[in-house]
């Protein structure tokens, strides 16, 4: 009996570790161009509408983080970007979902929102003034050094 109890516990522990390892990723792009950061204003859902975020979205099964950054920026903004290194920490969105930002270079296009209320190119001084989504706000200390000082 003791052995079966131990086995059951081991199964529960390994299921939990698999859940943590499988945490899904939402990527975000920190596109800096001419000393400004590209941000966009959400249109939905209601509690996020009007608030600002880095462009991005969920990584699809089998897709790399970098490919997801490029795809999301093409879909949401009609621009071509090249992602590079991660910026800041993984920020928990929910128990099974994290937000992961990557620095990215603008290769071509003019940002044109397809799914958002607005886009803006902001300066370091603007960072503190926007009404950010909470997860994106956690990235501000890591975003600040990407922009020229004021
Ligand atoms: N999210 C938060 N900050 C961001 C992005 C791109 C996304 N910079 C959150 C909002 C949603 C979830 O991640 O709850 C999925 O993002 P999307 O597919 O709605 O863009
Ligand atoms: Mg999105």
| 72-105 pLDDT, tens digit each | 999 999 999 999 999 999 999 999 999 999 999 9
DSSP string, 31-59: EEETTEEEEEE---STTTTT-EE-SEEEP
pTM score: 0.87
Return the bridge partners of 56, or none: 28
Q: Are 32 and 146 in contact (CB under 8 A)?
A: yes
ipTM associated with this complex? 0.98
CA triplet 11, 17, 21: central angle to 5 degrees? 145
Residue 116 is encoded by which pair of tokens? 């958002």
Ligand nearest to the CA of 29: 1
Q: Which ligand lies nearest the alpha carbon of 114?
A: 2
Most informative mutation of 56, 104, 114, 127 for ligand 1 (most atoms within 8 A of CB): 56
Distance 93 CA to ligand 1 centre (A): 9
């Amino acid at each position: 009996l003791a052995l079966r109890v131990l086995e059951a516990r081991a199964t529960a522990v390994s299921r939990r570790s698999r859940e943590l390892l499988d945490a899904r990723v939402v990527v975000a792009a920190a596109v800096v161009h001419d000393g400004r950061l590209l941000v966009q204003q959400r249109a939905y859902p209601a509690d996020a509408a009007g608030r600002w975020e880095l462009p991005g979205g969920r990584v699809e099964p089998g897709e790399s983080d970098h490919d997801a950054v490029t795809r999301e920026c093409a879909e949401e903004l009609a621009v071509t970007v090249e992602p590079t290194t991660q910026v800041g920490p993984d920020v928990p969105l929910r128990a099974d979902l994290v937000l992961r930002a990557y620095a990215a270079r603008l290769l071509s296009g003019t940002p044109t929102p397809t799914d958002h209320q607005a886009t803006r190119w902001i300066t370091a001084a603007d960072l503190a003034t926007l009404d950010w989504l909470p997860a994106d706000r956690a990235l501000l200390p890591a975003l600040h050094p990407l922009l020229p000082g004021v």
